[in-house]
Amino acid sequence: MISYYNSKHPGLFIYITLVIVSVLSFLLLEINAPLVGILSISWGGFIFMRILSLYEVSEHFAPFTQKSHSKITNKNSSALAHDLIRRMNGEAYMKRGIFAMHAIEGRTLLWFALAFAYVAYSFYLSQNLVSQTALIQKFSIFFIIGAGFWAGQTYSYSDHASRLLLVIFALLFGMSLHNVSTEFDINALNISTSNALTVLAALMVYCFIGLFYSSVKGWSYILNALIGLLLLIIMGGAGLALEDNPQLTALWLSGWSLFSIFWIRSHCRTQKRYILYQCE
C-alpha cells in the first residue's frame, strides 16, 4: 500500500523503477502490443495507488475529520515507544504530503487538457490510416508519458527526492537523446506541419509561458525555468523533426519526467526555516 502513514515519499522507488524499465524497453526491446500493455497496466496500477495516497492526505486534513481512534484489544499490538514514534512519523509524513497536492492544481490540469486535445486530434487524423490495435497501443504510450510527467511532480517538492530524480532521469534522457541523434539526418530533415502538431505547439507555448511567468519570482525560480525551457526546446525540436518511433518515445518519456521536476519547482518550492523561541 502506497501511504503517507508509512513513508514520507510513498511509491518513490516504484515510480523510478517504472520510468527506468519503460525507457530502457523503448530503447532496447522490440515494441509490441503485449509489452506496451504490461507497461501501461503497471503504470495504471501505480497511478491509481498514488491518487489514493493523495486522497488519504486530503481526507486527513479535511475539516471536522475524526482523528481519534480507539483500540478494541491490545493483542498483537506494538510496544508503546514504537507505536508513539510511528504515530509521530505518520503525522509528519502526512504534512509533507500536502506539498504533493500541488500536482493537481489548475496549472497542471490545463497542461493535461492541452495534451488530451493533442492525443484526441491525433487519433482522429489516424483512425483511417492505422489499425485499432495500433491506436490502442499509441494511446497507452501517451498515457505512460502523461503518468510519468504527473507522478514526478508529486515527489519533486522534496529537495532529496528531486535530486535523486534529477540524476536518474538526466542519465535516461541523455541515453535517449544519444539514440535519437544517431538517427537524425539533417539532409533528410522534413518537419511535419499537420494540424495535430499545431495543438502540440500550443502545449509547448503554454509551458513556455508558464515557465517565463514563474521566472519573475527570484533567481532559484529562474534557474528551474531556464532548464525547463531548454528541455522543451530539445523535445519540441525532436518531435517536429523526427518520425514517431520507440527511441523518440523513450526521449519523450524521460524528457517529460525530467521536465516535471522543473515545472513544479519553478511554480512552488519548499524551504526549511528554523525559528528560535525565547524561553520565558
Residue ranges of alpha helices (H) inside the chain are: 12-28, 33-60, 80-100, 106-126, 132-155, 159-183, 195-214, 219-241, 246-265
Nearest partner of 126 among 114, 111, 112, 142, judged by Cα: 142
The pLDDT of residue 145: 94
Over the stretch 238-278, which tens digit does the pLDDT of each residue have? Answer: 877 777 788 889 999 999 999 999 998 877 655 545 444 45
Question: What whole-number distance in Å separates Cα of residue 97 and Cα of residue 53?
Answer: 9
Q: How confident is the model at residue 87 (pLDDT cuts 50, 70, 90)?
A: low
Question: What whole-number distance in Å separates Cα of residue 48 and Cα of residue 2?
Answer: 10
Question: What whole-number distance in Å separates Cα of residue 23 and Cα of residue 165?
Answer: 14
Over the stretch 190-228, which tens digit does the pLDDT of each residue have? Answer: 444 455 566 777 888 888 888 887 767 667 778 888 898
Over the stretch 161-188, which tens digit does the pLDDT of each residue have? Answer: 899 999 999 999 999 998 887 765 544 4
Q: Where are the domains of the chain?
A: 12-62+88-265
Over the stretch 25-52, which tens digit does the pLDDT of each residue have? Answer: 999 998 898 999 999 999 999 999 999 8
Nearest partner of 125 among 198, 189, 34, judged by Cα: 198
Question: What whole-number distance in Å separates Cα of residue 36 and Cα of residue 21?
Answer: 12
How buried is 241 (Cβ within 10 angstroms: 0-12 exposed, 13-18 middle, 19+ buried)?
Answer: middle
- Per DSSP, the residues of 33-58 read HHHHHHHHHHHHHHHHHHHHHHHHHH
